[in-house]
Amino acid sequence: MSLAAADIAFAVDLFAGLGNITTRKMMGGLCIYADGRLFSILDADGTVYLKAQGAFADKLDAAGSRPFVYSRKDGTSQSMAYRTLPEAALDDPALACDWAKDALDHLT
């Protein structure tokens, strides 16, 4: 499945309050950068994820986020250090940018 142009535009608009947002298509999805720093991805279905580890991942989990999990060719599943953007933020760019700023603050 290919990522729709509307999904890409939605994500860019959602995070526009962060300033310089750039994107790069990768493996059927999209990497989203703020000032050159990768902080978010979109999967092929258009689901928005934030990069998250440690305490920030726990904070997202408490807000109802789910981890990014993909299936490998051998049938096993693998998770990555990304969590879904909390659902309330999908309709609220200011809230989405607050979560994204928190993600950026926790990048290592």
pTM over the 0.85 mark:
yes
The answer to whether 92 touches 86, Cβ cutoff 8 Å, is no
Annotated domain spans of the chain: 5-105
- Tokens describing residue 52: 């998250």
At residue 67, the pLDDT reads 96
29-81 pLDDT, tens digit each: 999 999 999 999 999 889 999 999 899 999 999 999 999 998 888 989 888 89
Amino acid sitting at position 27? M
Sign of CA dihedral 45, 86, 58, 106: positive
**Which CATH code is given to the segment(s) 5-105?**
3.30.1460.30
The side-by-side arrangement of strands in the sheet containing 37-42 is 21-26, 29-34, 37-42, 48-51, 77-84, 67-71
The answer to whether 28 touches 44, Cβ cutoff 8 Å, is yes
DSSP conformation class of 52: -
User: How many Cβ atoms sit within 10 Å of the Cβ of residue 83?
Assistant: 26
The answer to whether 60 touches 66, Cβ cutoff 8 Å, is no
